[in-house]
Amino acid sequence: MTVATDSSTRTHYSIQTRDLNLWYGKFQALKNVTVDIRPRLITSLIGPSGCGKTTLLRCFNRINERYGNVTTTGEVTILGRNVYDEDISLSELRKSVGMVFQRPNPLPISIYKNVLFGIRTHTRRGAFPRHQRDEMVESALRDVQLWDEVKDRLRRRATHLTLEQQQKLCIARLLPLKPRVILMDEPCSALDAEGTERVEALIGDLKRQYTIVIVTHNMAQARRVSDECIFMLLGEIIEHDDTVQLFLNPHKEQTEMYIEGRYG
């Protein structure tokens, strides 16, 4: 690994895990995962199906735990706090760590309300006057290049949008919460080639302000969008390196075999 792990640079990382283990029932999905993810970069998680990349991603906002039989040990430090501490507020954690899902999942309410859904769970009713809410919606939708397409139908149900628009909306609704980290679980897998290109461009823009971790099945995508790349296999981190380095000059045999397409 080229990424330094000594403690003096701890604060330079936005996500750090230490000996993270996770079991679904008796099945161990993550094994001693220790990894450091740097801010304002795009880090991609790659590996064959079932290697634990989505599980690792879902540890970062602890959304894994909604299925009762999950056991986790180890530490995940995000913005200087261990998110597995007793006193952590899940609601606050998810405010700073946003997530975009594989299948666009806008809520079955209006576009306008979708954008403000997050902020409304975190502030009391009427905390923002009307014009301020309108501004928040506009700026979030502008940031994802959706404003011009939907500005005349903000009150329409978000589920009527195209998949690409839906996925952009799913990114937009994170922005009013001012998250520090955005987790993306195969965000383009439901989109066509052009949609993928535009959403990838958008992800590239967002990295200036946010730490982005993206899970992808698509190695070409990992190469195109990410700055650093983590290769996982059977619940373990095999290699973590600069994306260009990892693809041109992998250090581990498994990585080489995977990126050459010999398995996975």
Partner 1 sequence: MSSEIRPVSRPGIQWVYRMIERLIELTIMLCGWSSILFVFAIFYFVFREAAPMLFGDLNLVEFFTSPNWRPASEIQPQYGVLALLVGSLSVTALAMVLAVPFGLGAAIYVSEFCGGKLKEVLKVVIELLSAIPSVVWGFVGYMVLGPLIMQLSGAPVGVNVLNGGIILALMSVPIIVSVGEDALKAVPDSYREAALSLGASRWEIVCRVLFPAAKNGLLAAVLLGVGRAIGETMAVLMATGHAVQIPHSLFDPIRTLTATIAAELGETVEGDDHYRVLFVIGVVLFAVTFVVNLIADLVVKGIRSEKA
- Where does this chain bind partner 1 (CB under 8 A)? 61, 63, 66, 68, 90-95, 98-99, 101, 103, 105-109, 117-118, 120-122, 170, 173-174, 177
Between CA 48 and CA 59, with CA 53 as vertex, the angle to 5 degrees is 165
Q: How far apart are the first and last CA of the chain?
A: 22
> Whose Cβ is closer to partner 1: residue 62's or residue 207's?
62
**Segment (H or E) for 54:** helix 53-60
**Closest approach of Cβ 7 to partner 1, in Å?**
30
> Whose Cβ is closer to partner 1: residue 49's or residue 91's?
91
> Whose Cβ is closer to partner 1: residue 85's or residue 197's?
85
**Closest approach of Cβ 99 to partner 1, in Å?**
4
Furthest C-alpha separation in the chain: 58
Give CA–CA dist 160/65, Å, rounded: 31
> Whose Cβ is closer to partner 1: residue 10's or residue 103's?
103
**Closest approach of Cβ 63 to partner 1, in Å?**
6
What are φ and ψ of residue 166, in 5° steps? -60, -45
**Closest approach of Cβ 191 to partner 1, in Å?**
16
Give CA–CA dist 166/164, Å, rounded: 5
